[in-house]
Amino acid sequence: MRELTYLAAIREALIEEMTDDDAVILLGQDIRANLYGTAGFLDMFPEERIRDLPTSETACVGAAVGAAMTGLRPVVDMGSASFSFVALDQFISEVSKIHYMSAGRLKVPVTYRIPLMYNGGVGVQHSDRPYPMFMQMPGLKLICPTTASDAKAMMKAAIRDDDPVIVFEDTYNWSSRGPVADPPAPAPIGTAAIVREGDDVTVVGIGRTVAFALAAAGELADAGVSAEVIDLRSLAPIDWDTIFGSVEKTGRLVVADAAVSTCSAASEIAATVAEHRFEALRAPVRRVTSLPVHSPYTPALEREIYPDAGKITAAVRSVAKQASHGH
Amino acid sequence: MMARMQPATDDIRSMVGMWRQMLRIRRFDEAASRLLRSGQMPGVLHLTTGQEAVVAGSSAAMGPDDLLIGTHRNHGYPIARGGDLGPLMAEVLGKATGVCQGRGGEMHLIDPSVGAFFSSAILGSGLPVAVGTALTSQLQRSGRVTLATFGDGASNEGAIHESMNLAAIWKLPIVFLCENNGYAVTVAASYAVSVHDIADRAAAYGMPGAVADGSDPVAVREAVGAARDRAGAGQGPSLVEAKTYRTVDHAENLPSQPYRPEEEVASWRERDPITSFRGRLLAAGHATAGELDKIEQEVGEEVAAAVEFACDSPFPAPAALWEHMYADPSLNRPAASLSWP
């Protein structure tokens, strides 16, 4: 099967959706000439459907909402997760709430691409992983595809969805390559994927921590520990059935999440499994998250704060060891 | 659904039609206020009292397919566009028969079926959305113009600046209407706004700015109408500032210390726009006293019927809580994290 990079897969998804539906438009800063998968679109589509935006995040996020409410399907490139904070009122007060407060009279089929650029020396103000903040807002669909195939399938699903969808793109994955069928294998919003089967410990990963979890699982297999790895890929709704089913099998759970530990996606998953599948657990749930400090510029310090394969391996070993007492 | 009581012959764009709409807004608000005081509705009420001429004049200026995007003080727009009062009052009471089935409430009183499309109750937050509805009009070449209203308080929000700039660079079909009622809750515009006329700020975006007498629905209709025509002709956005005054507090049920001179409030009440426009209609021969009295009576009956409809309507059932969270109904139920096995 042909292979594509993650970014090329998203580019294909955008081209296909824009070709299929004139209502799909692209909005973003620097999108006409940018590096994020949309260079050259001006040669393929009318200029009025490819809109470079002034640096006015609030107006741009809101304009996409108004356009979506009246028949367009805008895709907005936010450039960096940290820039989304400038427009937070629009995301919270408008994007997430309009469908509910209008009792469904107004629909908001809009897609926001929010790249997560961390562990790359871009400094304290450009390295945020804010998806847990958005998880606090009912009404949003939040996805974080990890493979090239899922990136294409989920981006297309997001654009066709009648609800607002935010696509968190872990930029670590942008250059990673993977097989992409035509059409891509389905990856419905709201589903997780078991990307490696195992029996002893469930490891849930998000974004780049999925790759770290897979690396950890490979190392642990050599040591006789069988880890099952789940790519969460949908942060809202969360696929509880897949997580619960895996924990019922393994009895142990480690959640790896590059967000800051406090009220993270990992926290939500850990709390929910502890509440609902306590009887299945043979060891305490472990979270492997970022430390609750800012992301410093210097690589010497920055690399310390994020999850990596070594931290995940250690967490899995610790719960596997505790579990051995019971079995 | 109750029948619409407004006679079809009374064009909302006509002189008498605008007066009827002003009266419908006033009587609707008075009835809502009574319901609040008698404990029949939750929360607070943002009345249009004193500002009806701005609403009726601007609503009359817009075309039948145009889109109005408003603020927390939005009762007037769906009414002035000819919306049914029953579902509007039911929304105020939080009833299942309300325009938004009780999900929106009195700060989000809309009726998309008459072009009162949307309102946002966060100051300035609706303007970016309005830029987007205008973008759709431009791309679809629909000829629809968006009217985006905001107040003197919101005029100081960053979202307004971004929205006007974006609308200007894209030459979008939109009219920005500032309802300057002199106070942002309790803070005077004369203190908080850097210019005497907010309309002057239009120059910063290369768009025309105009000031209109907000007590005169004809003046508002003409100023907004000119801006609407310009937008509809593809010449881009304009800013109209209507000078007005709310003769009631920011919100019913929201007590504050005195913040404006009593004489100031009294002088505006003496120049009540509904009373003065009535006098003008009579003096110019647009209607006889008997005809206007008849409209008073009709509006009174219409509002009474709306109150009866709203009071008799059921509240949404508790199970309806999850409805409308998502467009996909299968998702509108508690997540597994909340529903115990």
How far is the C-alpha of B92 from the C-alpha of B110, rounded, in Å? 11
Cβ pairs bridging A and B (under 8 Å): 165
Average pLDDT over residues A111-135: 94
How far is the C-alpha of B325 from the C-alpha of B327, rounded, in Å? 7
How far is the C-alpha of B1 from the C-alpha of B95, rounded, in Å? 13
Residue A4 has pLDDT above 80, yes or no: yes
Average pLDDT over residues A2-30: 96
Paired with A22 in beta bridges are none
Percent of chain A whose predicted confidence (pLDDT) is above 70 = 98
Residue A324 has pLDDT above 70, yes or no: no
Could you tell me which residues come within 8 angstroms of residue B170 by beta carbon, excluding any fewer than 6 positions away? Answer: A51, B135, B138
Interface of B with A in 137-196 (CB under 8 A): 137-140, 146, 158-159, 162-163, 165-166, 169-170
For the packed helices B52-61 and B273-283, what is the interaxial angle rounded to 10 degrees? 60
Contacts of B170 in chain A (CB under 8 A): 51
pLDDT band at A38 (very low <50, low <70, confident <90, very high): confident
- Residue B12 has a pLDDT of 74
Paired with A253 in beta bridges are A202
Interface of B with A in 255-314 (CB under 8 A): none
Q: Identify the residue among A18, A25, A83, A102 best suited for mutation to test binding to B, counting B beta carbons within 10 A and taking the highest.
A: A102
Token pair 């430390």 is at which residue?
A291
Local confidence pLDDT in tens for the 341 residues of chain B: 344 444 434 577 899 999 999 999 999 999 999 999 999 888 899 999 999 999 999 999 999 999 999 999 999 999 999 999 999 999 999 999 999 999 999 999 999 999 999 999 999 999 999 999 999 999 999 999 999 999 999 999 999 999 999 999 999 999 999 999 999 999 999 999 999 999 999 999 999 999 999 999 999 999 999 999 999 999 999 999 999 999 998 998 887 888 999 999 999 999 999 999 999 999 999 999 999 999 999 999 999 999 999 999 999 999 899 999 999 999 998 877 676 55
How far is the C-alpha of B3 from the C-alpha of A325, rounded, in Å? 74
> Which stretches does DSSP call E strand in B203-340?
209-213, 238-243
- Taking the model in full, what pTM does it have? 0.95
Determine the distance in angstroms separating the CA of A139 from the nearest CA of chain B, rounded to an integer. 5
Asked if B327 and A64 come within 8 Å (Cβ–Cβ), the reply is no
Is A182 exposed, middle or buried (CB count within 10 Å of its CB: 0-12, 13-18, 19+)?
exposed
pLDDT band at A322 (very low <50, low <70, confident <90, very high): low
- Residue A35 has a pLDDT of 65
Enzyme catalytic residues of A = 57, 126
Going from the C-alpha of A33 to that of each of A40, A171, A173, B75, B159, the distances in angstroms are 7, 18, 21, 45, 26
Closest Cβ opposite residue B103 in set A63, A103, A161: A103
Could you tell me which residues come within 8 angstroms of residue B39 by beta carbon, excluding any fewer than 6 positions away? Answer: none
Interface of A with B in 120-149 (CB under 8 A): 138-139, 141
- Residue B341 has a pLDDT of 52
Residue A106 has pLDDT above 80, yes or no: yes
pLDDT per residue as tens digits for the range B228-279: 999 999 999 999 999 999 999 899 888 788 899 999 999 999 999 999 999 9
How far is the C-alpha of B226 from the C-alpha of A151, rounded, in Å? 48
- Which of B294, B136, B112, B297 is closest to A27 using CA atoms? B136
- Residue B10 has a pLDDT of 54
pLDDT band at A30 (very low <50, low <70, confident <90, very high): confident
pLDDT band at A33 (very low <50, low <70, confident <90, very high): confident
Contacts of A56 in chain B (CB under 8 A): 162, 165-166
pLDDT per residue as tens digits for the range A180-210: 999 999 999 999 999 999 999 999 999 999 9
**Is the predicted ipTM greater than 0.85, yes or no?**
yes
Determine the distance in angstroms separating the CA of A83 from the nearest CA of chain B, rounded to an integer. 15
